[in-house]
Amino acid sequence: MTKLRLLPLMTCMVLPLLNAGCSSDEDDIRAHQGDGGAAGSAGAAAETSFFVTSDTSATADLGGLKGADARCQRLADAADLGPRTFHAYLSAERDPEDENKTVDARDRIGNGPWYNAKGVLLAENLSALHALSGDAELFLDEYGNKINGQWQGSPAPVEHDVLTGSAADGTLLAGKTCADWTSDDSDMTAQVGHSDGLGPSMNPAPPYNSWNSAHENESCANTAPRGGAGRLYCFAID
């Protein structure tokens, strides 16, 4: 019996010399959890179901809702976020599938839960989402980077204005969608939210704290003035 018990131990001592090796329970756990770095990032990426676009748009002409959705999907695919369908959080006065209907941003992003690119829970559901304030640590781009804003230490320029065309509850704000995201008219404006939930001098008071409905931008022709860059919020609907 003693000799039989020694056989596995002797095997584990000899096999490494043949590059076969023996794994322990600790090794198995590490293999499943990852040691951080690439493995950890891959796990977070697979869970990512929300992000702020890393790219920007000089105007609010996004090619309509379909163009905005395609932009979200392209960025998600480039970041290898898995087989998910992403939609832009945007309201519109006419549904491209039925012009007799309006579109509320909250109705086109699924039901949650949503996680950011670091695997941190953004919100469990629509109610929790619309109870949030903006937060530079939560509202990250698809690679887990913070968006330039009013937070302490942020690089310039401020780019925390995110296009939504929506009221704070996620419903349409009529006249603030740049002709349903098809216009770069300097006489039109769009409603934006603050991804970091802050106003000038890091002011967290309403409406500066709103992630989806802080103020209107200067015009559809130029998203930069007042702190924007034509970014979008993208949510996985599945």
119, 82 Cβ separation under 8 angstroms: no
Give strand pairing partners of 95: 98
Q: What is the amino acid identity at position 65?
A: L
- CA nearest 168: which of 227, 108, 209, 200? 209
- Domain range list for the chain: 40-236
pLDDT for res 42: 54
Structure token digits, residue 141: 């781009």
pTM of the model as a whole: 0.82
Q: Which CATH architecture group holds 40-236?
A: Roll (3.10)
pLDDT by position in tens, the chain (length 238) = 444 444 444 444 433 333 443 333 333 323 332 333 333 355 567 799 999 999 999 999 999 999 999 999 999 999 999 999 999 999 999 999 898 999 999 999 999 999 999 999 999 999 999 999 999 999 999 999 999 999 999 999 999 999 999 999 999 999 999 999 999 999 999 999 999 999 999 999 999 999 999 999 999 999 999 999 999 999 999 9
Q: How far is the C-alpha of 63 from the C-alpha of 45, rounded, in Å?
A: 27
pLDDT for res 109: 98
pLDDT for res 45: 73
Structure token digits, residue 98: 């039925």
**Please, where are the H alpha helices in 79-224?**
126-129, 178-181
**Prior bond of 96 cis (ω within 30°):** no
Q: For the CA atoms of the chain, what is the radius of gyration? A: 23
Structure token digits, residue 94: 């006419």
pLDDT for res 20: 40
Q: What is the amino acid identity at position 165?
A: G
